[in-house]
Structure 1
């Protein structure tokens, strides 16, 4: 007598876990995670909504300080909210400690353009030649 085509007792099929599609899914998730983490902007500034551009490039943050301009116009030195006087003092101190240091400006896309230009201008007056404006990729 034929048992109905099944391989198990009484003609019942056993469940099998197919490993090949599982490996494909795991590799897809791994690749997605890696690409996502590479696209993150790793700066030390406060959280702001950066302007989106098509030519954004990830920068090395070694030897840099991040100055953030929030949408309310407040300034932050890395993660510390500071006043204009503190900004000028810290800028001069950073110049003394790091004569070849770089400045990253994190300006919220809703911030006043004049605030970001003020930070840019003061950094150049302090003698910094490497001043960058941070953006995100569209």
Structure 2
């Protein structure tokens, strides 16, 4: 009697090892982002300390970053000081005040900080705050 061997049918199954590799990659990526190991957009600044620093309430705000040298950014986008007021007025909605937060590196000269704040006030923006960190 002849025995015809039938081919074995492979059962479908899910491989766990590649799925675990992908999940570990995602976990490592999000941990590095949350620890600021991977740099975010914008200038790296070290805020000055103030004992009276307080949290701001949610509102329409624009963040101006002054870096060392002549760097200036509005909400993470490089900008010249001449175009600052016009850009802010374009972003501002009618009948809504925009709170401006100046995020200045502690090495920036006070004269430059005053120049930016003076330009903003001449442009009609009066709600200006300086970002600090609590001691």
Output the TM-score relative to the length of structure 2.
0.61
Match of 1:109 among 86, 106, 111: 106
Deviating runs (4+, > 6 A) in structure 1? Answer: none
- Structure-1 separation of matches of 2:42 and 2:77: 8
Residues 73-114 of structure 1 show CA distances to partners (whole Å, capped at 9, x for unaligned) of 311001111112332321332356564111100010001111
Match of 2:46 among 44, 49, 57: 49
1:122 CA displacement:
1.4
Kept in 1, the 8 Å contact 2:64–2:101? The answer is yes
- What CA RMSD, in Å, does the superposition of the two structures yield over aligned residues? 2.2
Return 5+ residue gaps in structure 2 as ranges.
1-40
CA, structure 1 residues 59+70, in 2 after alignment: closer, same or farther (shift >3 Å)? same
Kept in 2, the 8 Å contact 1:46–1:78? The answer is no
1:124 CA displacement:
1.1
Aligned match of 2:120: 123
Kept in 2, the 8 Å contact 1:51–1:108? The answer is yes
Higher share of residues assigned helix: 1
Instruction: Tell which has more relative contact order, 1 or 2 (C-alpha 8 A, sep 6+).
Output: 2
- Structure-2 separation of matches of 1:48 and 1:108: 5
Output the TM-score relative to the length of structure 1.
0.60
CA, structure 1 residues 97+110, in 2 after alignment: closer, same or farther (shift >3 Å)? farther
1:68-107 aligned within 5 A: 68-95=65-92, 99-107=96-104
1:62 CA displacement:
2.5
Return 5+ residue gaps in structure 1 as ranges.
1-43
